[in-house]
Amino acid sequence: GQQVMQIPQYQHVQEGEDFTTYCNSSTTLSNIQWYKQRPGGHPVFLIQLVKSGEVKKQKRLTFQFGEAKKNSSLHITATQTTDVGTYFCAGHHSGAGSYQLTFGKGTKLSVIP
Amino acid sequence: DGGITQSPKYLFRKEGQNVTLSCEQNLNHDAMYWYRQDPGQGLRLIYYSQIVNDFQKGDIAEGYSVSREKKESFPLTVTSAQKNPTAFYLCASKTAGGETYEQYFGPGTRLTVT
């Protein structure tokens, strides 16, 4: 089946440091979404990227979609303890229809105060 | 309040027993999903349904069954054929089609089989 690779699997940062997680697909994505799951919680939608080369910002979070629509990244500037959790990317593969998302395995972020 | 409810939050069963997990949504969403989450494995799709009385297998459907008799409800049965049923199970829903592909997740059911 379709796969979305996500790295790193874990990231430990000092509070105030930056954090980046990367997603890569071998095939073109029609769009990509990002979700955050707090410890003990459920995934919550953060954002969707649709256009080639798209960049979106939410406060300290910056999301990018690659020009070829095969990769994406999430960058957090100056992490805070509230950023702790697992960040997942999830992509719709082109031609697969709008119903099925393929999730990456997630990057678990720990922030040391 | 609109949302997705899953019950129970924790479920314990003996090996060899079937167990049904509940998922209800009042968001008027057409599509519903079941995912399984294991540590370090991300979310893996078990089954999904685009419309009432129709559903499709996901990547790991073996040992599971579902039904979609009502738009609001999408129960998942974990059968005794599922070799490693202990996991965190998440239900999700979304609107059908259009540019909005966001999935809304329920709080999950943590199933332990011993």
pLDDT, tens digit (0-9, with 9 covering 90-100), for B59-109: 999 999 999 999 999 999 999 989 999 999 999 999 876 556 789 999 999
What tens digit of pLDDT does each residue of B15-43 get? 999 999 999 999 999 999 999 999 878 89
Q: Average the pLDDT over A57-82 and give the result.
A: 97
DSSP state of A51: S
Cβ-Cβ contacts under 8 Å, B104 against chain A: 45
pLDDT value of position B42 = 87
Question: Which class for B85: exposed (0-12), middle (13-18), buried (19 or more C-beta within 10 A)?
Answer: buried
pLDDT value of position A107 = 97
Question: How far is Cα A80 from Cα A47, in angstroms, rounded to an integer?
Answer: 19
Cβ of B42 within 8 Å of Cβ of A99? The answer is no
Cβ of B43 within 8 Å of Cβ of A88? The answer is yes
* Residue B101: alpha-carbon gap to chain centroid: 18
In A1-113 the beta strands, taken as DSSP E runs, fall at: 4-7, 10-14, 19-25, 29-37, 44-49, 55-58, 61-65, 71-76, 85-93, 102-103, 107-112
pLDDT value of position B110 = 96
For strands B42-51 and B31-38, give the pairing: antiparallel
pLDDT at A101 over 90: no
More confident residue, A96 or B11: B11
